């Protein structure tokens, strides 16, 4: 499929998103950040990880959500079901699980007074129980959190009564990636970057390829198709209510380095893994802070995920996970390590830019930011965010 290189194409397809400047204040306003905390992160479905991280009954994973002042424990029950709970003991409010992940032999036990809960969150044992007053263990289990799984991705919703199911929330993304086969790929590496930047600045900077020929001119100079050998263009953009995907084509005239050529020759694995890509690179932005990136490889496709976790209005943890097919040969393993290191270099350039952008906006030298036609997906994100922040103003 040949890329449509016509100028200002997407504004014509999605005129309702407008073309004007967007206020910069939401990036740097503590008051707006407080609204995001209450009206976005406490109200919508948030990705926590993948089911492969807790494969066996009793396996658990703890995610501390600073933006919601919450700690969530995800545990696979003896029945195989993944459940989420607030990581708070019913006795005095201590964290029940202190480590990030592990496996329990039947019970999660609070280290303060040894109250014990089973893998379904039920309170099963209380030390010195007879010395309490009218204690009803059946009513004192861990506080559940709405939890669901889609294509192996675990989501939670901190709203005690979520307004919609996960499937409804994800909308057309479920059909676009149905049966993608993410489970065939294994987690290869995790990067966590603590940034002095607002979470939206970090997300926006990744949610476009306009910057690639410039910011990454040394690391990724001509990987994607360029107009007039200078500018990137999007192959496709699709919106699924709150969410979006943009897609790009790889440049068939990309200058192959000696290292790339060697790595390609070393990869002799027989198994081939293909993902349902629209183009050669697809970027799914799952509102509010989760991203799935699909890459077309010469031999095998692979994917990455981003989670942008707000810690404060000016601080974000950018969590990056890279998933490859399990290596069958030494050559394939070398190729994956090469790709991981090359991606790391690009991500370091991005992280530095996030902080400098935040510093610039925090100076309030500029009151608005501008988006060009091939950044329409960012414009969509900000409209969705503004609508979500405003939805609950009276409720």
* DSSP-assigned letter for residue 48: E
Is 28 or 392 the better-scoring residue by pLDDT?
A: 28
Q: Are residues 77 and 98 in the same domain?
A: yes
Residue 166 lies in a domain: no
Residue 100 lies in a domain: yes
* Single residue among 158, 192, 207 that ends a domain in this structure: 158
Residue 1 lies in a domain: no
> What domain range includes position 55?
45-158
Beta bridge partners of 305: 292, 321
* Tokens linked to 184: 């065939």
- Average pLDDT over the chain, rounded to an integer: 92
Q: Are residues 130 and 217 in the same domain?
A: no
Q: Are residues 138 and 178 in the same domain?
A: no
Residue 248 lies in a domain: yes
Q: Are residues 60 and 114 in the same domain?
A: yes
The CATH code of the domain that includes 227 is 3.90.380.10
> Is 336 within 8 Å of 320 (Cβ atoms)?
no
> Is 362 within 8 Å of 206 (Cβ atoms)?
no
What does the pLDDT read at residue 1? 44
Residue 13 has pLDDT above 50, yes or no: yes
Q: Are residues 260 and 366 in the same domain?
A: yes
Q: Are residues 315 and 184 in the same domain?
A: yes
> In angstroms, rounded to a whole number, what is the distance separating the alpha carbons of residues 360 and 5?
32
* Domain count within the chain: 2
Residue 278 lies in a domain: yes
Q: Are residues 186 and 62 in the same domain?
A: no
Q: Are residues 209 and 287 in the same domain?
A: yes
Query: Confidence band (pLDDT; 50, 70, 90) for 180?
Result: very high
Q: Are residues 323 and 207 in the same domain?
A: yes
Query: Confidence band (pLDDT; 50, 70, 90) for 379?
Result: very high
Predicted TM-score of the model (pTM): 0.94
Least confident of 3-12, 199-208, 266-275: 3-12
Q: Are residues 326 and 349 in the same domain?
A: yes
Q: Are residues 260 and 341 in the same domain?
A: yes
**What confidence tens digit (pLDDT) does each residue in 50-77 have?**
999 999 999 999 999 999 999 999 999 9
> In angstroms, rounded to a whole number, what is the distance separating the alpha carbons of residues 24 and 367?
5
Beta bridge partners of 144: 85
Backbone torsions φ then ψ of 138, nearest 5 degrees = -65, -20
**What confidence tens digit (pLDDT) does each residue in 44-56 have?**
999 999 999 999 9
Query: Does the bond joining 96 to the residue before it have cis omega, within 30 degrees of 0?
Result: no
Matching residue, tokens 């040969």: 329
* Single residue among 136, 158, 180 that ends a domain in this structure: 158
Residue 2 lies in a domain: no
Q: Are residues 65 and 17 in the same domain?
A: no
CA-CA-CA-CA torsion sign (382, 385, 390, 391): positive
- Cβ neighbours of residue 255 closer than 8 Å, sequence gap 6 or more: 221, 222
Residue 294 lies in a domain: yes
Residue 262 lies in a domain: yes
């Amino acid at each position: 499929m040949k890329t449509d290189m016509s100028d200002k194409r997407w504004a014509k397809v999605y005129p309702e998103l407008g073309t004007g400047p967007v206020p910069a204040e939401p990036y740097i306003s503590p008051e707006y950040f407080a609204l995001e905390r209450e009206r976005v992160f406490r109200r919508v479905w948030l990705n926590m990880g993948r089911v492969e991280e807790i494969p066996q009954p009793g396996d658990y994973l703890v995610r501390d959500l600073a933006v919601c002042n919450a700690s969530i424990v995800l545990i696979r029950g003896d029945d195989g079901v993944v459940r989420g709970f607030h990581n708070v003991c019913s006795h005095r409010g201590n964290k029940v699980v202190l480590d990030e992940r592990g496996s329990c032999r039947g019970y999660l036990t609070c280290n303060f007074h040894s109250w014990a809960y089973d893998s379904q969150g039920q309170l099963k044992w209380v030390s010195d129980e007879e010395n309490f007053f009218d204690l009803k263990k059946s009513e004192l289990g861990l506080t559940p959190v709405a939890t669901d799984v889609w294509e192996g991705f675990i989501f939670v919703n901190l709203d005690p009564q979520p307004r919609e199911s996960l499937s409804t929330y994800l909308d057309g993304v479920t059909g676009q990636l149905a049966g993608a086969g993410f489970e065939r790929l294994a987690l290869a590496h995790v990067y966590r970057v603590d940034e002095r930047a607002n979470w939206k600045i970090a997300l926006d900077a990744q949610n476009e390829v306009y910057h690639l020929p410039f910011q990454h001119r040394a690391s990724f100079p001509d990987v994607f198709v360029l107009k007039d050998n200078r500018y990137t263009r999007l192959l496709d953009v699709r919106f699924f209510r709150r969410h979006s995907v943009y897609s790009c084509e790889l440049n068939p005239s990309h200058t192959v380095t000696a290292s790339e050529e060697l790595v390609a020759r070393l990869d002799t694995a027989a198994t081939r893994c293909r993902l349902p890509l629209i183009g050669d690179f697809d970027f799914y932005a799952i509102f509010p802070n989760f991203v799935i990136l699909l890459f077309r490889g010469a031999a095998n496709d692979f994917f990455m995920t981003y989670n942008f976790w707000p810690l404060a209005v000016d601080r974000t943890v950018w969590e990056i996970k890279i998933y490859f097919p399990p290596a069958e040969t030494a050559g394939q393993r070398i190729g994956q390590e090469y790709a991981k290191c090359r991606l790391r270099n690009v991500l370091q350039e991005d992280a530095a830019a996030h902080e400098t952008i935040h510093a610039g906006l925090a100076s309030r030298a500029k009151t608005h930011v501008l988006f060009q036609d091939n950044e329409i997906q960012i414009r969509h994100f900000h409209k969705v965010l503004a609508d979500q922040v405003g939805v609950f103003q009276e409720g």
